[in-house]
Each structure stands twice: as C-alpha cells, then as structure tokens.
Amino acid sequence: MQSKIEIQLPDDFEENIKRDMYRVAFEAFQATAQKHQWADYLNRNRAAEYLGVSLGYLDKLTALGMPTIMIDGFKMFKRSEIDKFMLSYQR
C-alpha cells in the first residue's frame, strides 16, 4: 500500500530554486577560475582542441611562429598568444 502526501509550495518556489542553483554554480566556477591562475596555459592537446585543429596542424602553426613556452621539454601555449597569432593572419 502506497501513501500519497501533498505539499503546498509557494508559486515562486521553482524560480527561487533555479536562481539559487545558478548563484551557487556561478560562485563555484568563479572560485575555481581564481584557484587556477594557469588556466590560460594549454598543453599541446588542449591547444589543438582550442583551435579545432589536429596535432600535426598545430605543429605547422608552431613552425610558422606561433609562440610556445618550453619548460623541461614540456610545450605550453598561452591562449592570448594563440589568439594574437591567429589574428595576425586575419585578412
């Protein structure tokens, strides 16, 4: 035998829940972004993803002069530098 319980909720209950969930998610994203000050730096795979190109084509762009940061054999790309490089080819 199942029991049924009815609860009366205010008319704006759903909107309040949505607003509160959005606020909490936004604050969490902000906190994460502040903790990861290096989020502007991408490894090779993520740089290729960011540009929507293959790793081979990313290597060609690097050969054409796209700036990289090399630390102990590990290549990193700064988003803003990728953007500047790409815009330098804009016509």
Kindly write down the DSSP assignment for every residue of 34-53, as one continuous string: HH-GGGGEEEHHHHHHHHT-
Residue 6 placed within a domain: no
Residue 31 placed within a domain: no
Residue 60 placed within a domain: yes
* Claim: this prediction has a pTM higher than 0.85: no
Residue 50 placed within a domain: yes
What's the pLDDT at 76? 93
Range of the domain at 61: 40-88
What's the pLDDT at 10? 84
What's the pLDDT at 37? 55
Residue 20 placed within a domain: no
Residue 83 placed within a domain: yes
The tally of domains found in the chain comes to 1
Splitting the chain (91 residues) into consecutive groups of 10 residues, what average pLDDT does each group show?
A: 83 88 83 66 92 97 96 91 95 90
Backbone torsions φ then ψ of 67, nearest 5 degrees:
-65, 140
* CA–CA distance, 20 with 66 (Å, rounded to integer): 43
